[in-house]
């Protein structure tokens, strides 16, 4: 069964908007695990506008499932991940001023750089995933870089789902099949929600993990956090 990793960045946004430590991101992570999540995802950015580097350190000692740390592998990020050694690191090519991740890696033109980064993290026993668009060549490139998994950027699927879900999923099935054929593990994230998640997993049942934050935390405002985690978990049942 596909695992659910919950991105808690938005919880940190609420905390940072007021100062202090309310809501407490570590307590939130523990509760989310208790409610049934299989992992916790964070994406610390250099401007610390949501999850901070110290949060990641605190979470390492608190998370009992899997901790997935996403980010652009700049020097400070590589040092942080090397220090805490999470279960998984997801490499994302976002610019420092990006509101959110909006594109996958070009694993062909960045092969040398990504190979060095993957080799470093692999040597520390950290599972390395590369964030890519649903393009078979980019998936194959990730394999050549030494990644263990790819994470498919799902914005195009989500934006096309209502109009024509068959057309929207087609590129993702092709990319997912390429990952499977290459021997890569498969993650997906960014724009999955209660409306489109089950169909995605129905068509790509070998997906190892989905990482969902913005939609899940938003839904929790209406349905409650415990109930929302369970609603997303039910979407993963085939």
| Residue 102: predicted pLDDT | 65
CB 207 within 8 A of CB 200: yes
**Residue 2: pLDDT over 60:** yes
* CA Rg value for the chain: 17
CATH number of the domain located at residue range(s) 3-235 in this protein: 3.20.20.70
Q: How far is C-alpha 19 from the geometric centre of its chain's CA atoms?
A: 26
Active site members: 43, 70, 190
Segment 25-54 mean pLDDT? 96
CB-side neighbour CA atoms (13 Å) of 199: 19
Q: Report the DSSP pairing between strands 88-91 and 209-212.
A: unpaired
> Which helix (H) or strand (E) is 209 found in, with range?
strand 209-212
Q: pLDDT band at residue 30, thresholds of 50, 70 and 90? A: very high
Q: What is the pLDDT of residues 105-129, one digit of tens each?
A: 999 999 999 999 999 999 999 999 9
| Residue 154: predicted pLDDT | 97
Q: Can you give the residue ranges of every domain in the chain? A: 3-235
134-169 b/e (C-beta count within 10 Å ≥ 16 → b): bbbebbbbbbebbbbbbbbbbbbbbebbeeebeebb
Q: What is the pLDDT of residues 155-198, one digit of tens each?
A: 999 999 999 999 999 999 999 999 999 999 999 998 999 999 99
pTM above the 0.85 mark?
yes
| Residue 190: predicted pLDDT | 86
Q: What are phi and psi of 43, to 5 degrees?
A: -135, 85
Q: What is the pLDDT of residues 190-237, one digit of tens each?
A: 899 999 999 999 999 999 999 999 999 999 999 999 999 999 999 999
- Contacts with 182 (C-beta within 8 Å, 6 or more apart), sequence order: 139, 140, 143
Q: What is the pLDDT of residues 44-96, one digit of tens each?
A: 998 888 999 999 999 999 999 999 999 999 999 999 999 999 999 999 997 66
């Amino acid at each position: 069964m596909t695992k659910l990793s919950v991105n808690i960045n938005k919880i940190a946004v609420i905390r940072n908007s007021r100062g202090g430590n309310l809501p407490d991101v570590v307590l939130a992570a523990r509760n989310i695990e208790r409610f049934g999540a299989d992992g916790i995802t964070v994406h610390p950015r250099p401007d610390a506008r949501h999850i901070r580097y110290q949060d990641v350190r605190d979470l390492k000692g608190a998370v009992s499932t899997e901790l997935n740390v996403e980010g652009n592998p700049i020097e400070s990020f590589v040092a942080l991940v090397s220090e805490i050694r999470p279960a998984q690191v997801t490499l994302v090519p976002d610019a420092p001023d990006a509101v959110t991740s909006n594109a996958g890696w070009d694993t062909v033109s960045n092969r040398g750089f990504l190979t060095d980064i993957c080799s470093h993290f692999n040597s520390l026993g950290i599972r390395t995933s590369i964030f890519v668009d649903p393009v078979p060549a980019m998936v194959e490139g990730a394999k050549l870089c030494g990644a263990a998994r790819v994470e498919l950027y799902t914005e195009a699927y989500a934006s096309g789902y209502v109009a024509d879900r068959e057309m929207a999923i087609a590129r993702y099935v092709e990319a997912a099949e390429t990952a499977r054929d290459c021997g890569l593990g498969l993650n997906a994230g960014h724009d999955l929600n209660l409306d489109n998640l089950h169909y995605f997993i129905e068509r790509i049942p070998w997906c190892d993990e989905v990482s969902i934050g913005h939609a899940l935390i938003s839904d929790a405002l209406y349905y409650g956090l415990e109930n929302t985690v369970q609603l997303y978990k039910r979407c993963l049942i085939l």
